[in-house]
Structure 1
Amino acid sequence: MMEKIVSKNIPLYFETEESQLILGDSFEILKKMKSESVDMIFADPPYFLSNDGVTCQAGKMVSVNKGSWDKLSKDGTSVEEKHKFNRKWIRLCKKVLKSNGTIWISGTLHNIYSIGMALEQEGFKIINNITWQKTNPPPNLACRCFTHSTETILWARKNDKKSRHFFNYQKMKEMNGGKQMKDVWTGSLTKPSEKLEGKHPTQKPEYLLERIILASTEKGQVILDPFCGSGTTGVEAVKYGRKFIGIDVSEEYMEISKKRLEKLLNDK
């Protein structure tokens, strides 16, 4: 089994030789993890989109509300609350990240500007600003602005002159047909075949995490996802010989992560 990086007092929801899933509050669990124990962090934190509005999904009008985890209070979330939330979890992630490690954070216009500011305030240096361009975004129902078709992924390292982050330039060039890979990545939303074990409202497609993991980690390194949702980070980490720690407050989503990891290991 992989080394337990979290305090022995924290029970594991699921464990294999390559992965550990932990059910609970990320803030509390991150506090109980060993300092500088992980090589890379991918985080897809709450976007705070749950404002009782509507959107289009599979041709149907549906609520934008994701769940209680997407709100900080019953009355919604203020700018100050959002920024305080982002600074807090980023600060905790910095503690567990190795000096040469990196962090990737995905977001939309609703939270990514706060995250960019929080990263700099908490002692990180942004390496890249990745634009993920979706080829099949949901239509804009209000017809009063342009269709939202992109998300931003910030890649950052500790703002320390001694920090030497890993970047597999040759692999990215190879994956891009022999040309330097640019910071605009184009692809579809998550395929239905990746949601067979259960659905998550903001599930990322596997190809996105594959690229992130191959670009910034080496085999055997430890990857942490503090808001792991349905476990895409874990699936791709284990698939490519990395070790994975996933944390989520929802047992429903933790069960999806568990099923996806079990399926991957059974198919090996």
Structure 2
Amino acid sequence: MTKNHKPTKLVPDTLIKDFSMDECEQFLERTNYVQGKLEHVLGKPYYSNNGFILFNKSCIEVLDELKKIEFQLDLTITSPPYNIGKEYETNLDIKYYVDWCEKWMNLIYDNTTDDGTFWLNVGYFEVPDKGLCVPIPYLLWDKSDFYLLQELVWKYGAGVQTKKRLSPRNEKWLYYVKNSNSYTFNLDEIRDLNVKYPNQKKNGKLKCNPLGKNPSDVWDFPKVTSGASRSSKERVDHPAQFPLSIIERLVKASSTNNCVVMDPFSGSGTTGIAAVALNRIFLGTEVNKKYCDVSIERFENFLNYRKEVLSQQTIL
């Protein structure tokens, strides 16, 4: 095992939250309203429970339909197929892949609130006769009407070992907003407590915010690993699962209670679990029925785990 990699928990402790009766009632009322609007154009979801709403449909089909009712997304967090031959994708011509991404990216834009945000996780792929590890952001960054605020680098310890090039240990997140002058950014929710001199003062006042410092644009989160001796506890049967901890930070930074958070490539349901755990409503689309079922089982395991932990805390 790589020294600086630690297997993740089933669910980070910070996602086990208890909410007041009023908060629960408001969340239920908002969920029922959102689901009603969705069902008006999409029919019954494949699964719906406790704010986790999942459709076994393509994101383009769903987003096209949502435009008819001017359905507004507060936040979208996703990681599309990288076009590298994973089991859930077919390799496409580079131009066709970029055109396909441009279509769903702009549909997300059309369905996003004026102060909404879009976080896009992408890696790299081979461009024939041009490059082996071409970062996908180079090809997608300007392919929508979103405003690119900045690039976030996600670094990790575990990964593929290589002999004729450097071992890859990072992926990129593109941080988009719809309105560059007005967007949701909750800095206090994501401050970094790892401050070197927390008590340092200038003119009698603390130089650092007591809640912590502003995180940099390089985030160090362990990958969700597989393998008999090194598998992450949150690992499920999906080949491209990202950690709950990084999605938790994105949800906290870019949304508030009862917001609608979408993942158009829902996969293993990571975005949905983080969203619901933080009192947001999740809208997921996934074309692969197998992954729909995987994410449903994972979400229900999360609900049971949260209930068990909270009940133990009540007893103590």
TM range (shorter): 0.7 to 0.9
- From 38, 43, 57, the equivalent of 1:24 is 57
Aligned counterparts, 1:29-68, within 5 A: 29-33=62-66, 34-50=69-85, 66-67=86-87
Superposition deviation, residue 117 in structure 1: 2.4
TM-score for the superposition, normalised by structure 1: 0.84
TM-score for the superposition, normalised by structure 2: 0.72
* Residue identity opposite 2:112 in structure 1: L
Instruction: Note the aligned Cα RMSD (angstroms).
Output: 1.7
Does structure 2 conserve the Cα–Cα contact (< 8 Å) formed by 1:226 and 1:248? yes
Does structure 2 conserve the Cα–Cα contact (< 8 Å) formed by 1:134 and 1:186? yes
Identity score, percent:
26
- Larger gyration radius, structure 1 or structure 2: 2
Over 3 Å counting, the alpha-carbon distance change for 1:175 and 1:105 in structure 2 is farther
Q: Distance in 2 between matches of 1:128 and 1:218?
A: 21
Aligned counterparts, 1:1-268, within 5 A: 2=31, 3-4=34-35, 5-8=37-40, 9-33=42-66, 34-50=69-85, 66-67=86-87, 69-71=88-90, 76-110=91-125, 111-118=136-143, 122-140=144-162, 143-158=163-178, 160=179, 164-177=182-195, 178-190=212-224, 192-195=232-235, 198-267=236-305, 268=307
Superposition deviation, residue 148 in structure 1: 0.9
Superimposed CA distance per residue, residues 101-153 of structure 1 (whole angstroms, 9 cap, x where no aligned partner)? 000000012322222121xxx2111112000001112212xx22111110000
Superposition deviation, residue 220 in structure 1: 1.2
Over 3 Å counting, the alpha-carbon distance change for 1:255 and 1:216 in structure 2 is same
- Number of equivalences: 239
Does structure 1 conserve the Cα–Cα contact (< 8 Å) formed by 2:39 and 2:45? no
Superimposed CA distance per residue, residues 164-183 of structure 1 (whole angstroms, 9 cap, x where no aligned partner)? 11111122225554122100
Q: Structure 2 unaligned runs (5+)?
A: 1-27, 126-135, 196-211, 226-231, 308-316
Does structure 1 conserve the Cα–Cα contact (< 8 Å) formed by 2:261 and 2:280? yes
Superposition deviation, residue 88 in structure 1: 0.3
* Residue identity opposite 2:109 in structure 1: K
Superimposed CA distance per residue, residues 232-257 of structure 1 (whole angstroms, 9 cap, x where no aligned partner)? 00011111111101110011111111
Q: Where does residue 55 of structure 1 map in the other structure?
A: none
Q: Structure 1 unaligned runs (5+)?
A: 51-65
- Which runs of structure 1 show a deviation greater than 6 angstroms over 4 or more consecutive aligned residues? none
Does structure 2 conserve the Cα–Cα contact (< 8 Å) formed by 1:6 and 1:32? no
Q: Where does residue 202 of structure 2 map in the other structure?
A: none
* Residue identity opposite 2:140 in structure 1: I
Q: Distance in 2 between matches of 1:36 and 1:176?
A: 40
Q: Distance in 2 between matches of 1:103 and 1:87?
A: 14
Q: Distance in 1 between matches of 2:148 and 2:239?
A: 27
Q: Distance in 2 between matches of 1:175 and 1:258?
A: 34
Q: Secondary structure at the match of 1:173?
A: coil
